[in-house]
Structure 1
């Protein structure tokens, strides 16, 4: 048992070796690849994801392909996406040595560039920015892979007539931070990102409004509760760092005065940084940039509330030591605070008089990340694919791999969503690893953003290593299913029903050419009677494009086949009816075959009866 400011923590046996921050960082970066929403970059590593949402923006006459899917769904929300971009860029600026020492800088920068490209693409005019692609209601009614989404994906924007200072301000911060990351290695790209950041900030500052008042669909998912003042400060701070222009710092400091808690009692301190609220990050960043004690007062009041307490008040702690703010994404909030606490602790190390606070904040940051990695009463990891007893059923459509548009089918998640931080436990350290318990098992890009940053900072102090030969994906499930049954039979005919089901998952896809073969063995028919042209193939019901007459498969062995051609049919793993096609076909034999014919010789007849059975003896050709 370790005590920190009166908070008890349990270190289970399974956690005795401590966390490998390097492995978790490696996998956390991989998670972002699973969220890519468009054409995929060179060197893409996930075999169960393919290009998706390739018509985004087409109905509105713009190209909005790319970017990140928000969470386990397939909507692209630009507000949390831009926040994620800013934080990932900040982490690279703070801890590039951590990424480089583990050869992860190439993946971190590729992720960053991929999403920054989309933000610039969505900025289609100086005072126009597309803030959402996909309708929340339509999207959440579909539980299937993004590669074959059947629903419409409308796009929504802010402009001068209906602005969004929070959204434009965060997008400006994201691109300004990105420009700093690429300033040396790709100055042309950095200059473009910075120019876009300038324009977006001007839009945010000139035409003021709350974005979710304009993009109404976003209000149900990512409503801007804190308003836009924090993003105006945040965006100005990043532009100041990227340009060195004092005017941006002046804007930030002037705007900072307007940041107030909802009750008007001063600067807020009972919440934390999130996709919505950048106030707390502004405390930390202004303290670092200006060395002004007034900002340190605000930063320390807030961090004291999260650690040792402030004026007799303190954040709720679970019995196992999780700083628990809210049920939805409990680990996300703890990780966000941990990231800023570690940054601020480094800042305080310059002040010998505050060494005690620096230690408290640093230990808090490490402790919260360690809780997520296994230092908790259950001894379990809350990162998919890492550590002891990690989550196996994140609330994530693509990873689940359903082909029937069902949250419950298949029972087991088909793909490992490496590196995803789940929402986490309740205030009593209880967790349910159930796909439909999304408060516990939801994952999101913003959940991982500051978590990734905290890992990189901890690697600087404690080291870490990556896993060799990662990723090592293996196909674990069948991609095509064929079921058959005997519809009817007589002395001179046999009628078979065959049903093919698209369960493709490596990646999910709609094949352009698809054929199924039913193979017959006619060796029992005397050679002098064996004229396959006398067998007539007819269909009673067919969802195939074509059904052939008998074709030679192996003449020497008297093997023939019927080809069920589904080419051109839209058979997609997106629902029970969408994923299936059925054909009922009849073999009619000449009368002279009656004494000899035995369908049980047919390779494709094995195990067939009067009810549907899975039949692996009908080859599928994709």
Structure 2
């Protein structure tokens, strides 16, 4: 009798355990969905210009409604890049490209959030169309960055100079122009079925802007450096952006000339790139670089998607594989470091941009490998697609709270998240609560206070903890506490994938 009861109890406990595992799995999947929704909502908090009636982050109001008037252009709209009130087109265009790539790869997994993803892309492309309206000119930035950074002021109150920095045929900027072309081309694919007319406008403008970038070559730091440097200088040259732009144009148009451009130029990309790290220029292997200022790994992953197992696979597949091997902890050629808690680190500030963008490439490349029954050889290690997904999922889980501090680094997600992010609009009282104008220096006490921010910038992912997993939650520490559009943009695709497939499995 006792034996029978014991057996029944064990059976019941086993069933409860299995049920709990199922519930936990569902909760994990739902959490990725919640994180995706909030990740997209963040972009509404970064909007510049006249806000639409369906604006959900309603503590933000209209701002910078005369942008571009100094150069006879309408440059109202677009995104503020981070916690300041400047529109830097280079990282903005990259963020738009990554939002578009996220939808291209994983839009079918986004459910009701797909429309918000399309809205976030269109907010970027509508502005980029304005920034490229006149042939032979591309806007590089709007707002005097030094004056802006000298103030702690709401975007709705800005009284600093809204200088427009524009590159042209005599003062070129191939990197910002080619990245803009990439963003327009990638976005044209997103809208191909949803809004065909708009898609055609985007791809035609992408062609025009790419031709300008290629024909009138030069770096924008030499042309409009005072408006973009040192904040978004591109120290590794513009050749990677030209090839990146050509790759997206080939994907968008299937026109042979863009493929020929790729093949003709890719072998001449530099093997080493220069990055600004903690105020010092450092060289690193180009194949492992990807972010707003370096497109090498992105080029190889993107192009591998259509040349894998073909006669055109080199150098793309080989270089993409080398890149993957730099990220795997067990790889003999690993070049990144991991914190004790498991967060990926690359040199320089705002580290979370690396965790999100490199995770995106891992997840995308894993899908390409699956289609071709492939794997990545890393010396004596053979990395299956599921292993790439596991590494990426580890980064996602860390960012969302599975870390030594049990802190979510996405604002508004989970029970514990950063309260004092380096962000002017979030830290200052909203127009609704404080309708009076706040002057340049009058916001300083809000910057210096140890009190939590006045407004919740839901979905914002901050620069993140240090290499020992420590995070001070101090808005004066911009590298760790400032969110950016290019941290969130690639994370959209990653979250969409893990929302649908929360548990990577070997195939």
TM bin (shorter chain): 0.7 to 0.9
Measure how far apart 1:211 and its partner are.
1.4
Residue 287 to residue 271, structure 1, CA distance change in 2 (3 Å): closer
| Higher share in helix | 2
- Distance in 2 between residues matched to 1:185 and 1:262, nearest whole Å: 41
Gaps of 5+ in 2: 1-23, 275-282, 376-381, 430-437
Q: Residue 76 of structure 1 corresponds to which residue in structure 2?
A: 87
Residue 154 to residue 178, structure 1, CA distance change in 2 (3 Å): same
Q: Residue 98 of structure 1 corresponds to which residue in structure 2?
A: 109
1:230 lines up with 2:256 in the alignment: no
Q: In structure 2, which of residues 443, 448, 462 is the aligned counterpart of residue 405 of structure 1?
A: 443
- Distance in 2 between residues matched to 1:296 and 1:267, nearest whole Å: 20
Post-superposition Cα deviations, 1:348-367, rounded to whole Å, max 9, x if no partner, equal 11343528431221111111
- Distance in 1 between residues matched to 2:26 and 2:191, nearest whole Å: 39
Q: Residue 172 of structure 1 corresponds to which residue in structure 2?
A: 181
Q: In structure 2, which of residues 327, 348, 363 is the aligned counterpart of residue 306 of structure 1?
A: 327
Q: In structure 1, which of residues 368, 371, 383 is the aligned counterpart of residue 410 of structure 2?
A: 383
Measure how far apart 1:149 and its partner are.
0.8
Q: TM-score, normalised by structure 1?
A: 0.69
Q: Residue 200 of structure 1 corresponds to which residue in structure 2?
A: 209
- Distance in 2 between residues matched to 1:310 and 1:226, nearest whole Å: 27
Measure how far apart 1:196 and its partner are.
0.7
Measure how far apart 1:170 and its partner are.
0.5
DSSP-derived class of the 2:272 partner? coil
- Distance in 2 between residues matched to 1:348 and 1:182, nearest whole Å: 26
1:191 lines up with 2:200 in the alignment: yes
Q: Residue 342 of structure 1 corresponds to which residue in structure 2?
A: 363
Q: In structure 1, which of residues 287, 290, 305 is the aligned counterpart of residue 307 of structure 2?
A: 290
Q: Residue 444 of structure 1 corresponds to which residue in structure 2?
A: 484
Post-superposition Cα deviations, 1:193-232, rounded to whole Å, max 9, x if no partner, equal 1111000000011111111221112121000122111111
Measure how far apart 1:95 and its partner are.
1.0
Measure how far apart 1:409 and its partner are.
4.8
- Distance in 1 between residues matched to 2:92 and 2:329, nearest whole Å: 33
Contact in 2 for aligned 1:301/1:310 (Cα 8 Å) = no
Contact in 2 for aligned 1:98/1:456 (Cα 8 Å) = yes
Post-superposition Cα deviations, 1:487-540, rounded to whole Å, max 9, x if no partner, equal xxxxxxxxxxxxxxxxxxxxxxxxxxxxxxxxxxxxxxxxxxxxxxxxxxxxxx
Residue 290 to residue 94, structure 1, CA distance change in 2 (3 Å): same
Q: Give runs of aligned pairs for residues 538-617 of structure 1, distance below 5 A.
A: none
Q: Residue 61 of structure 2 corresponds to which residue in structure 1?
A: 50
Residue 270 to residue 179, structure 1, CA distance change in 2 (3 Å): closer
Contact in 2 for aligned 1:284/1:340 (Cα 8 Å) = yes
- Distance in 2 between residues matched to 1:282 and 1:78, nearest whole Å: 20
Contact in 1 for aligned 2:352/2:463 (Cα 8 Å) = yes
- Distance in 2 between residues matched to 1:144 and 1:106, nearest whole Å: 32
Post-superposition Cα deviations, 1:25-50, rounded to whole Å, max 9, x if no partner, equal 10111100011100112311122111
Q: In structure 2, which of residues 466, 470, 478 is the aligned counterpart of residue 426 of structure 1?
A: 466
Q: Residue 62 of structure 1 corresponds to which residue in structure 2?
A: 73
Residue 190 to residue 233, structure 1, CA distance change in 2 (3 Å): same
- Distance in 2 between residues matched to 1:312 and 1:67, nearest whole Å: 40
With 14-23 and 105-114 compared, the bigger mean Cα shift is at 14-23
How many residue pairs match? The answer is 447
Q: Give runs of aligned pairs for residues 243-254 of structure 1, distance below 5 A.
A: 243-254=253-264
1:328 lines up with 2:349 in the alignment: yes
Contact in 1 for aligned 2:121/2:187 (Cα 8 Å) = yes
- Distance in 2 between residues matched to 1:410 and 1:351, nearest whole Å: 53
Q: TM-score, normalised by structure 2?
A: 0.84
- Distance in 2 between residues matched to 1:302 and 1:207, nearest whole Å: 31
Residue 313 to residue 409, structure 1, CA distance change in 2 (3 Å): closer
- Distance in 2 between residues matched to 1:96 and 1:196, nearest whole Å: 24
Q: In structure 2, which of residues 374, 399, 420 is the aligned counterpart of residue 393 of structure 1?
A: 420
- Report 1 or 2 for greater relative contact order, CA contacts < 8 Å, sequence distance ≥ 6: 2
DSSP-derived class of the 2:139 partner? strand
DSSP-derived class of the 2:315 partner? helix
Q: Residue 20 of structure 2 corresponds to which residue in structure 1?
A: none
Post-superposition Cα deviations, 1:365-384, rounded to whole Å, max 9, x if no partner, equal 11111110111111110000
Contact in 2 for aligned 1:67/1:119 (Cα 8 Å) = yes
Q: In structure 2, which of residues 400, 405, 408 is the aligned counterpart of residue 373 of structure 1?
A: 400
Contact in 2 for aligned 1:269/1:301 (Cα 8 Å) = no
Measure how far apart 1:269 and its partner are.
5.3
| Higher share in strand | 1
Contact in 2 for aligned 1:37/1:69 (Cα 8 Å) = yes
Q: Residue 501 of structure 1 corresponds to which residue in structure 2?
A: none
Residue 16 to residue 36, structure 1, CA distance change in 2 (3 Å): same
Measure how far apart 1:310 and its partner are.
5.2
Q: In structure 1, which of residues 458, 466, 475 is the aligned counterpart of residue 498 of structure 2?
A: 458
Contact in 1 for aligned 2:86/2:144 (Cα 8 Å) = yes
- Distance in 2 between residues matched to 1:33 and 1:312, nearest whole Å: 40
1:160 lines up with 2:200 in the alignment: no
DSSP-derived class of the 2:326 partner? helix
Contact in 1 for aligned 2:338/2:345 (Cα 8 Å) = yes
Contact in 1 for aligned 2:287/2:320 (Cα 8 Å) = no
